[in-house]
Amino acid sequence: MNRLENKVAIITGAATGIGEATAHVFAEQGATTVLADVNKDQVDQVVSEITENGGQAFAYKVDVSDEGSVQSFAEEMKEKYSTIDVLFNNAGVDQQGGKVHEYPIELFDRIVAVDLRGTFLMSKFIIPLMMEKGGSIINNGSMSGHAADLDRSGYNAAKGGIINFTKATAIDYARNGIRVNSVSPGTIETPLIDELVGSKKEEMGEQFRDANKWITPLGRLGKPREMATVALFLASDDSSYVTGEDIKADGGILAYTWPGKMLIEQDEWKKGTE
C-alpha cells in the first residue's frame, strides 16, 4: 500500500539519521521526496540510493537557519511543483554547552537558529504552497523538549519551543486543511550520538549507550527507521484527524517519574536490556 502516492514531501536534514531513514520510508510509500540539507554531497548519496531502489528523490542544498536560503528553496519548489503535500522539519543540531552562566552565547544562538528558527522559516515559506489543498507538517521535537538535560539548556529551549510552535501553527492553519504535529524521539542511534558522546567503539560512547539502555523501559536505543514510521503516520491520511499533537517515541523514558525501584533492583532491571 502506497500511503503517500502522488504526494510531494520535503524532508530537511535528510543526509543522515532520522531524516535519511524518513526519506527512504516516504519514497517506499510512493512520495516524490525532496531532500534538503547543508551537506549536498551526503544528501546526493541518499538520492542515489532511493532512485536505485525505484523511488523518486531530488537533492537540494539548504541552510534552514538562513532566510535567503529557505526563501530561494521555496521559490524553486513553487516553480517545480506548485503545491507541497508534506513537510518534515527534521534538521537540527545539538551540543553540550555547560551550565547556563558558562554557556557560550554563540552556541545557544546556533542551536536555536538551526532547530527552532529553521523550523519557523521552513514553515513560513512552505505553508503558502500547502494552502490550496492542505497538507501535513511534522516537526522534529525531542524528549529534551519535555524534560531537561544537564549542560544542554540551548537544546532544551529550542526543542521545547518547537513543540509549542507546533501547537500554535496547528491552530493557525487548521481551517486551511493543514495538519501540524511533532514527534519527540528519545535517544536514537544516529551519527549525532557519535558526535555528542562517541561511537560504539569508544569507551565513553559505549558507557553512554549502556546507561541509556538501562534507563529506557524498552531496554535499548531507538532506530532511525522507527522514527521514520511515526513521521509516515503523521504524513499520511491515517492521521487525518490528528493535529496539534506531539508523539513521544522515547522507549518509555518520559512515562516514569523517578527510577527508584530500578536503582534498588538494578541487577534484575538490567537483564532486560539488549
Catalytic residues: 155
- CB neighbours of residue 88 within 10 Å: 30
Coil, helix or strand for 60? strand
The Cα 261–Cα 117 span in angstroms is 40
Any idea what DSSP says for residue 164?
A: H
Q: At a CB cut-off of 8 Å and minimum separation 6, what does 81 contact?
A: 8, 32, 129
Q: Cα–Cα distances in Å, from 124 out to 55, 118, 137, 201, 236?
A: 28, 10, 11, 41, 21
Strands lying side by side in the sheet with 8-12? 56-61, 32-37, 8-12, 86-89, 135-140, 178-185, 246-249
> Which amino acid is located at 222 in the chain?
G
